Amino acid sequence: MSPNPAPSLLDRLRRGEAARDLGFLVVLLAAAAWIAVPALSGDGTTLAGTQTAAVVVAVAVAAAGLNLLSGHARLISLGQGAFFAIGAYVSAYLSVDSALHPLVAIVVALVVTAAFGGLLALCTMRLRGPAFAMVTLVVAILTERVLAEWAPLGRLSGYPNTLDHGSGLMPPIEIFGTSLEPPLFAGTEATVVVAILVVAVVALVGYRNVARSPWGRSLHAIGTSEHLAAHLGVNVFGRKVAVMALASTYGALGGVFYAQVFAHLQPESFTMLLSITMILAVILGGAGTVAGPLVGAVIIVLLQRTDVLTPLVDLQRQVSDTWYLSTPGLIGVLLVLTLAFLPQGIVGGLGELAHRLPGRAAPAAAPAAAPQAAAASATASSPAPDGDDVLLAVRGVSKSFGGIKAVQAAELVVRRGTIHAVIGPNGAGKTTVANLVTGVYGIDSGEITFDGRRIDGRRTHAIVRAGVARTFQTPLLFTHASATENVLAGFPDTGRLPLVRAWLKDPGQYRRTRELQDRAAALLELVGLGGDGHVEAGSLPYGKQRALEIARALASDPRLLILDEPAAGLNTAETAELGRLMLTLRAQGLAMVVVEHHMDLVTQVSDEVTCMESGAVLAHGTAAEVLAEPAVVEAYLGVEMEETA
Amino acid sequence: MDAVVSGIVLAGLYALVGQGLVLTFVTTRTLNFASGELLAVGGFLALGVGSWSWLPTPGKLAVVVLVGGALGAVVHRWLVLPFARGEHDSRWLLSTVGISYVLLNLFTNGEGANPQRVELTRNPGTVEVLGVGVNKQSLVIAVIAVVVTLALVAASRWTSGGVIMRAVAEDPRTVALMGISPRLVGAVAYAAATALAALAGVLWASEVGATPGLGVHVLVSAFAVAVIGGLTSFWGPLVGAVVFGVVVQVSAYELGALWGQVAGLALVIVVLVLRPEGLVGRRMEAKL
């Protein structure tokens, strides 16, 4: 590691974040200028190109929103085209038929669509499995039908139409004395394109801010494992509803752009194929990457609206003039091929390639400025001043799954700043107790208190926010993200940063990002991963993955840490290291519950031990007492019961 | 009353396709989003074999159903298995959507979008049921749906097949250790499901004519039915289809055909709020 003075390196990092944000904005502005200049020329030959570019922008914005939903949170929606259509038709209807000011109509359309998306999510997000995709498909097909058959929307004559409205075109928006003209007539400056580009740039910058913020990280967590996301303090259900509403708004905004560009809507433009086009844009570009949906939208719209596919169709028609695929079928083929050969998409695949390239050294890990101090502050939860030293109390808790009694009248009391080991043979109900404490399952009877307050019946994220963190029996990590990124997910911001602040990315967010980076580096240092910050979590050896999970759990600044078999799969040296780490953390005032089989570790670190068997508590006391108990020895070694009976 | 009876009778078509969805879902936790287009393929196959005068009608029907089944196995092998690697892999959903567009486009280019008359299994005319004139063909479909449902329920309850199906979905690795191939079970489920869709396609195309888009609205209704009834029980599609059919037909009778469909969607949403696991699905609290 180079002996760089820390401040200069931090400065560089600081500039890096802002410079990258600025770079993205510059790229967007350059693209916008490239579209706007010919549009403003009013030259008739540029009309077709301007329309295509505007459709790219509309689809890109809708696909960006869809990416947060389907790429990050992996909730596959087949209905983004429907939200696009709703945005387009509602804004048009309100400004033409209801005679609202067009800008008001647009805002109302966005709000209506967001509410509709949120409502659908409220109803479908309780289920895991394909129900969400099925319902979005039903919505897309029905929307298509309503547009084609409902008289007030003009049916197949489109909206507006000459028969009902006296004109087939929406009047242009008047703003500050200028009218925003669509790119439809030669000799007219297509001013609306400029307005669209400005709004699109703002929307896309906001999208990128969200995707790269702790809020975006929470979506990624939901996509990886809802179980994990809840344990990072994320209100999973609420966040799924929120991301659906956000994605719907972006879809509607794309539709509003579309309506403004063509000043007329035809139901044929909003078929199910539009929804498929958008999901394909996300997947082809790279689901879960920032630039992916934008790249995907450019490619797909150009494939659909230009004649690049014509040679491919002609080639087929030379073989058979009846059985061949035209654009929609080729889009279907492209979708299947992308899923099979490029599941990470273009941007994701390039990122992977860049990562693997031997020439490019991994970015040097930022040396922790002051590991000791930061580590201390990371876990500096001093014992509460009140006299009660009980932090967690599980009293008489029972839980059955179907007919199986997993836990029966379990008792577990953890005092502040102590380590309480839970031992027992496999299937004794140890992990189930951990899951009951963090609210994964509801309890059937008994009560659980944390810091004097009842926590049974509360949801996981609420319990985590109260100060409980945990690791899992099999490490649950973002295997494709760096170790630092994994620790960053552990900070409370993941569950608590409001969407608006993530979207706006105020200067406070830059400061917070730097602070979290430093604290993450310190936590990695603390668990012995100081040099591994940039390493992909999935490629770390097993022992380090376990340590990484502990670092992530510590990031939430917990008062109680539940470790579920932390020594499983560790070698002797790693186990000893783990023991030292636990003692360090205890010295800093952290209480721990450790579910463990490794008796050396248990005797080394634990203040109290509870032994469970078949869901019930068998013995409780100090390690020496419990391990001397004949019943405990029997439970482990399987001595015949008759001998003692 | 008219609307109620016709709703119940129409439910047969949705239940038949919905049964295929349940069949693949309980065994593989996946669904075929191309079921609608495969149903349309069934209609066109009927059109194709219709001219084989040497083959009696049951033989023709058998050919269509067998070819449908084979297509189902192909879809499973090439479009589902490679895209369903593990619990978090839901690419199968999009790959089957992708192939549905390939089929739709291929048949639209090859056969045109206009309905073509299918003579195989045509039952023109109406019969009286509870004093209401009911389309004979719809009644035939409804009877077949009930027979198929009873057969599946019986098979899952009284044969080892039922246990195998549930076990494959819950723990494919253990099932594999017991000497049963989860892939084979999945392929059989897809074959059976697609054979049902092809059968529904023949029967429905005989009524309304074969078109490439024949299946789109049937699949949407079958999805609604499967969500309403629940994807985990063979009773689900039948129960869901009757409720859905009646609600759609009654609202269509009162408000027009378009709003009948929208009322169907509203029903789906209401059921999801009140009973997310479906009317007859089982609520499961799984131990992680």
Q: The domain that contains A628 carries what CATH number?
A: 3.40.50.300
Instruction: For residue A282, give the chain B residue with the closest CA.
Output: B94
- A265 and A389 within one domain: no
Check residue B24 and give its pLDDT: 93
CB neighbours (10 Å) of residue B86? 6
Contact at CB, B220 and A138, closer than 8 angstroms: yes
Residue A542, chain B, CB below 8 Å: the answer is no
Which range of A40-49, A250-259, A562-571, B176-185 scores highest in mean pLDDT? It is A250-259
| Residue A121 placed within a domain | yes
Check residue A3 and give its pLDDT: 47
Average pLDDT (B107-113) is 91
| Residue A321 placed within a domain | no
Nearest partner of B39 among B189, B206, B185, judged by Cα? B206
Picking from A236, A271, A306, the residue at the C-terminal end of a domain is A271
Residues of chain B found within 8 Å of residue A131, distances taken between Cβ atoms: 227, 231, 272, 276
Q: Which of the pair, A431 or A637, is modelled with greater confidence?
A: A431
Residues of chain A found within 8 Å of residue B29, distances taken between Cβ atoms: 129
Structural domains for chain B: 2-274 (1.10.3470)
Contact at CB, B216 and A141, closer than 8 angstroms: yes
- The first and second tokens of residue A313, run together, are 């169709």
Among A325-339, A360-374, B60-74, the minimum mean pLDDT is found in A360-374
Best probe of the A interface among B220, B228, B251, B282, by most A CBs < 10 A, is: B220
CA distances to A305, A614, B31, B95 from A80, rounded to whole Å, are: 19, 49, 20, 17
Contact indicator for A381, A560 with CB cutoff of 8 Å: no
Helix (H) or strand (E) holding A90: helix A80-96
Average pLDDT (A162-182) is 88
Q: What is the pLDDT of residues A488-537, one digit of tens each?
A: 999 999 999 999 999 999 998 999 999 999 999 999 999 999 989 999 99
- A227 and A95 within one domain: yes
Alpha carbon of B35: minimum distance to chain A alpha carbons (Å): 13
Alpha carbon of B252: minimum distance to chain A alpha carbons (Å): 14
Check residue A357 and give its pLDDT: 65
Contact at CB, B269 and A123, closer than 8 angstroms: yes
Long-range contacts of A631-635 (CB under 8 A, 24+ apart): A632/A423, A635/A424, A635/A425, A635/A428, A635/A611
* In the predicted structure, residue B173 carries a pLDDT above the cut 70: yes
| Residue A10 placed within a domain | no
Residues of chain A found within 8 Å of residue B274, distances taken between Cβ atoms: none
- The first and second tokens of residue A629, run together, are 């108990």
Residue B287, chain A, CB below 8 Å: the answer is yes
Picking from A271, A295, A310, the residue at the C-terminal end of a domain is A271
Contact at CB, B285 and A432, closer than 8 angstroms: no
Residue B75, chain A, CB below 8 Å: the answer is no
pLDDT band at A359 (very low <50, low <70, confident <90, very high): very low
- The first and second tokens of residue A314, run together, are 């002609």
Residue A415, chain B, CB below 8 Å: the answer is no
- A594 and A454 within one domain: yes
Q: How far apart are CA A148 and CA B186, in angstroms?
A: 39
* In the predicted structure, residue B84 carries a pLDDT above the cut 50: yes
Residue A145, chain B, CB below 8 Å: the answer is yes
Contact at CB, B261 and A127, closer than 8 angstroms: no
Check residue A43 and give its pLDDT: 83
Arithmetic mean of pLDDT over chain A: 88
| Residue A243 placed within a domain | yes
CA distances to A27, B64, B230 from B222, rounded to whole Å, are: 46, 21, 11
Q: Which of the pair, A402 or A273, is modelled with greater confidence?
A: A273
| Residue A531 placed within a domain | no
Q: How many domains does chain A have?
A: 2
- A212 and A75 within one domain: yes
Check residue A15 and give its pLDDT: 59
Average pLDDT (B104-114) is 92
Contact indicator for A297, A56 with CB cutoff of 8 Å: yes
Check residue B75 and give its pLDDT: 96
Question: CA A129, A133, A139, A142 torsion: positive or negative?
Answer: negative
Q: How far apart are CA A370 and CA A522, in angstroms?
A: 7
Q: What 3-state DSSP class applies to A297? A: helix
Q: How far apart are CA B182 and CA A178, in angstroms?
A: 66
Instruction: For residue B28, give the chain A residue with the closest CA.
Output: A129
Instruction: For residue B277, give the chain A residue with the closest CA.
Output: A127
Best probe of the A interface among B272, B275, B282, B285, by most A CBs < 10 A, is: B272
Q: Which of the pair, A99 or B95, is modelled with greater confidence?
A: B95
- The first and second tokens of residue B143, run together, are 């009877």
* In the predicted structure, residue B283 carries a pLDDT above the cut 70: no
Specify burial of residue B94 (Cβ count, 10 A radius: 0-12, 13-18, 19+): buried
Among B5-9, B11-15, B181-185, the minimum mean pLDDT is found in B5-9
Which among A124, A273, A326 is the nearest to B272, CB-wise? A124
pLDDT band at A380 (very low <50, low <70, confident <90, very high): very low
Which among B106, B109, B272 is the nearest to A123, CB-wise? B272
- A610 and A464 within one domain: yes
pLDDT band at A379 (very low <50, low <70, confident <90, very high): very low
Instruction: For residue B223, give the chain A residue with the closest CA.
Output: A134
* In the predicted structure, residue B72 carries a pLDDT above the cut 80: yes
* In the predicted structure, residue A4 carries a pLDDT above the cut 50: no
- A584 and A455 within one domain: yes
Alpha carbon of A282: minimum distance to chain B alpha carbons (Å): 12
Contact at CB, B258 and A146, closer than 8 angstroms: yes
* In the predicted structure, residue A377 carries a pLDDT above the cut 80: no
* In the predicted structure, residue A79 carries a pLDDT above the cut 60: yes
| Residue A508 placed within a domain | no
Which B-chain residues 7-66 have CB contacts (< 8 A) with chain A?
A: 25, 29-31, 33
Q: How far apart are CA A439 and CA A458, in angstroms?
A: 6
Which distant-in-sequence residues (6+ apart) come within 8 Å of A143 by Cβ? Answer: A79, A81, A82, A85, A86, A270
Nearest partner of A115 among A143, A144, A87, judged by Cα? A87
* In the predicted structure, residue A36 carries a pLDDT above the cut 60: yes
Contact indicator for B212, B39 with CB cutoff of 8 Å: no
Contact at CB, B94 and A339, closer than 8 angstroms: yes
Domain coverage including residue A410? 383-481+541-643
Residue A309, chain B, CB below 8 Å: the answer is no
Contact at CB, A126 and B91, closer than 8 angstroms: no
Alpha carbon of B158: minimum distance to chain A alpha carbons (Å): 22
Q: What is the pLDDT of residues A551-595, one digit of tens each?
A: 999 999 999 999 999 998 888 999 999 999 999 999 999 999 999
Contact at CB, A141 and B82, closer than 8 angstroms: no
Which A-chain residues 223-242 have CB contacts (< 8 A) with chain B?
A: 224-225, 227
Picking from A208, A242, A271, the residue at the C-terminal end of a domain is A271
| Residue A141 placed within a domain | yes
* In the predicted structure, residue A23 carries a pLDDT above the cut 50: yes
Check residue A367 and give its pLDDT: 43
Q: How many CB pairs under 8 A join A and B?
A: 134
pLDDT band at B130 (very low <50, low <70, confident <90, very high): confident
- A392 and A267 within one domain: no
Nearest partner of B284 among B246, B230, B239, B236, judged by Cα? B230
ipTM, 2 decimals? 0.91
Residues of chain A found within 8 Å of residue B273, distances taken between Cβ atoms: 122-123
* In the predicted structure, residue A396 carries a pLDDT above the cut 70: yes
Residues of chain A found within 8 Å of residue B98, distances taken between Cβ atoms: 276, 332-336, 339
Instruction: Name the percent of chain A lying above pLDDT 90.
Output: 66
Contact at CB, A432 and B106, closer than 8 angstroms: no
Contact indicator for B199, B20 with CB cutoff of 8 Å: no
Instruction: For residue A327, give the chain B residue with the closest CA.
Output: B105
Q: How far apart are CA A185 and CA A178, in angstroms?
A: 17
Angle between helices A272-285 and A80-96 (to 10 degrees): 130
* In the predicted structure, residue B36 carries a pLDDT above the cut 70: yes
Check residue A111 and give its pLDDT: 97
Among A193-202, A574-583, B45-54, the minimum mean pLDDT is found in B45-54
- The first and second tokens of residue B8, run together, are 């119940």
Check residue A45 and give its pLDDT: 84
Residue A46, chain B, CB below 8 Å: the answer is no
Contact at CB, A336 and B95, closer than 8 angstroms: yes
Best probe of the A interface among B75, B102, B228, by most A CBs < 10 A, is: B102
- Cα–chain center distance at A445: 34
Check residue A371 and give its pLDDT: 42
Residue A313, chain B, CB below 8 Å: the answer is no
Average pLDDT (B7-11) is 83
pLDDT band at A382 (very low <50, low <70, confident <90, very high): very low
| Residue A550 placed within a domain | yes
Among A3-7, A453-457, A531-535, A623-627, the minimum mean pLDDT is found in A3-7
- A392 and A266 within one domain: no
Helix (H) or strand (E) holding B133: strand B132-135
- A474 and A602 within one domain: yes
